[in-house]
C-alpha cells in the first residue's frame, strides 16, 4: 500500500472485519483507504451519508482502491442511537432514489422474506444444527411470512450497529461500512435499530422523526425481521463455535417468540 501511495506515506490497519481498510498518514494529512469498498461509495459520498470520497483508482490486478476524508470524530454510543439525527439520517438513506436506482441498475435483487427463509434453511442443513428453539423460531417465521403484506423496497444498510455511526468535530453524522447493504423492506433496518437501542415507549416518537407512523403492519414486519436476524446470528456464531454468543442470542430469541 505504501508503494502505491508513494514516498512519505505511513499506512496502518484501520480495523474492520475484512482487513481491507487502512489509515494513511503523510505528515498531518490523513486518508481512509479501502480496497474493494462498496461500488456505491460515490453516491453515498455525494449525499453526505459517508465521509467525502476523494479519489478512486483501479490497480493492475483489478482491485479498486478508494480514498476518503479521514473523519476526526468518534463512534456513537448506544445511548445516542435514539437521537433525532439517527432517525433523519436513516430516513434520508431509505428515501434516496439515487441510491436505490444505482443498486437496482447493477442487478441487485431485493432481499425478500422468502429468500431469507431459504438461506436459513440451507444454513441449518449445512451446519447440521438441531435446536428446538430455532425450530420454534422458524415455525413462527413461516407462519407469519404470508401476513407481512406489501412494502416499498429501499436500500437497507443491514448492519446499523452503533459502531458504524460516526460523528465528527462539527457534529456531522455518517453511517459507514456498506459492504452488506441490500435492497429490502425498510422494516429490516428499523426493527434492528429500535429493538436494540430505543425503549418501546419511545418508538412512536422516533418513527415520527423518521417520517412514518407506527402501525400494526410496521410492528409485525419489524418483529419478523428481528426474529429472522436473531436466528441468523445464532447460526453464524454456532458455525464458528462461539458458544457464549450463541447462548446470548438464544436467550434473546426466546424473549421474542415466547
Q: Does residue 15 surpass a pLDDT of 80? A: no
Task: Select from 70, 95, 118 the last residue of a domain.
Answer: 70
Whether residue 187 sits in one domain with residue 150: yes
Q: What pLDDT does residue 105 have? A: 87
Span 110-126, average pLDDT: 93
Q: What pLDDT does residue 63 have? A: 84
User: What tens digit of pLDDT does each residue of 47-89 get?
Assistant: 999 999 999 988 878 888 899 988 888 999 999 999 999 999 9
Whether residue 113 sits in one domain with residue 45: no
Task: Select from 70, 92, 119 the last residue of a domain.
Answer: 70
Whether residue 227 sits in one domain with residue 149: yes
Whether residue 125 sits in one domain with residue 22: no
User: What tens digit of pLDDT does each residue of 149-198 get?
Assistant: 888 899 999 999 999 999 998 999 999 999 899 999 999 999 999 999 99
Whether residue 211 sits in one domain with residue 240: yes
Q: What pLDDT does residue 26 have? A: 86
Q: Does residue 107 surpass a pLDDT of 80? A: no
Q: What pLDDT does residue 96 have? A: 96
Q: What pLDDT does residue 191 have? A: 98
Average pLDDT of the residues of the chain: 91
- Of the residues 63, 139, 159, 185, only one is catalytic, namely 159
Task: Select from 70, 102, 127 the last residue of a domain.
Answer: 70
Whether residue 60 sits in one domain with residue 112: no
Q: Which of 10-24, 95-109, 156-170, 233-247 has the lowest mean pLDDT?
A: 10-24
Whether residue 183 sits in one domain with residue 96: yes
CATH number at residue 49: 3.30.200.20
Q: What pLDDT does residue 40 have? A: 86
Span 5-23, average pLDDT: 75
Q: Spell out the residues 6+ positions from residue 22 whose beta carbon is closer than 8 angstroms to its own.
A: 1, 11, 12, 13, 14, 32, 33, 34
Q: Does residue 220 surpass a pLDDT of 60? A: yes
243: its cell numbers: 458458544
Whether this model's pTM surpasses 0.85: yes
Whether residue 114 sits in one domain with residue 55: no
CATH number at residue 157: 3.90.1200.10
Q: Does residue 18 surpass a pLDDT of 70? A: no
Q: Does residue 134 surpass a pLDDT of 90? A: yes
Whether residue 236 sits in one domain with residue 216: yes
Percent of the chain with pLDDT over 70: 96
How many domains does the chain contain in total?
Answer: 2
Range of the domain at 210: 75-257
Span 201-213, average pLDDT: 98
Q: Which of 118-122, 127-131, 134-138, 190-194 has the lowest mean pLDDT?
A: 127-131
Q: What pLDDT does residue 1 have? A: 53
Contact 67, 55 (CB under 8 A): yes
Higher pLDDT, 32 or 107: 32
Whether residue 28 sits in one domain with residue 84: no
Q: Does residue 119 surpass a pLDDT of 90? A: yes
Q: Can 185 be counted among the known catalytic residues?
A: no
Q: How confident is the model at residue 210 (pLDDT cuts 50, 70, 90)?
A: very high
Whether residue 79 sits in one domain with residue 64: no
Whether residue 249 sits in one domain with residue 198: yes
Amino acid at each position: 500500500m505504501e508503494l502505491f501511495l508513494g514516498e512519505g506515506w505511513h499506512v496502518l490497519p484501520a480495523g474492520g472485519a475484512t482487513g481491507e481498510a487502512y489509515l494513511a498518514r503523510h505528515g498531518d494529512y490523513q486518508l481512509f483507504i479501502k480496497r474493494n469498498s462498496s461500488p456505491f461509495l460515490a453516491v453515498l459520498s455525494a449525499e453526505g451519508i459517508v465521509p467525502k470520497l476523494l479519489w478512486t483508482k483501479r490497480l493492475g490486478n483489478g482491485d479498486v482502491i478508494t480514498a476518503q476524508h479521514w473523519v476526526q470524530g468518534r463512534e456513537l454510543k448506544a445511548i445516542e442511537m435514539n437521537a433525532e439525527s439517527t432517525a433523519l439520517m436513516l430516513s434520508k438513506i431509505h428515501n434516496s432514489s439515487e441510491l436505490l436506482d444505482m443498486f437496482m441498475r447493477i442487478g441487485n435483487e431485493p432481499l425478500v422474506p422468502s429468500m431469507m427463509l431459504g438461506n436459513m434453511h440451507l444454513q441449518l442443513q449445512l451446519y447440521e444444527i438441531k435446536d428446538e428453539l430455532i425450530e420454534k423460531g422458524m415455525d413462527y417465521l413461516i407462519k407469519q411470512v404470508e401476513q407481512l403484506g406489501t412494502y416499498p423496497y429501499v436500500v437497507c444498510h443491514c448492519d446499523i450497529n452503533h459502531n458504524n455511526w460516526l460523528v465528527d468535530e462539527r457534529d456531522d453524522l455518517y453511517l459507514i461500512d456498506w459492504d452488506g447493504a441490500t435492497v429490502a423492506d425498510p422494516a429490516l433496518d428499523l426493527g434492528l435499530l429500535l429493538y436494540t437501542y430505543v425503549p418501546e415507549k419511545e418508538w412512536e416518537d422516533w418513527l415520527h422523526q423518521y417520517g412514518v407512523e407506527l402501525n400494526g403492519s410496521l410492528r409485525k414486519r419489524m418483529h419478523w425481521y428481528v426474529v429472522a436476524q436473531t436466528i441468523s446470528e445464532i447460526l453464524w456464531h454456532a458455525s464458528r463455535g462461539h458458544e457464549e454468543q450463541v447462548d446470548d442470542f438464544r436467550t434473546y430469541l426466546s424473549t421474542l417468540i415466547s
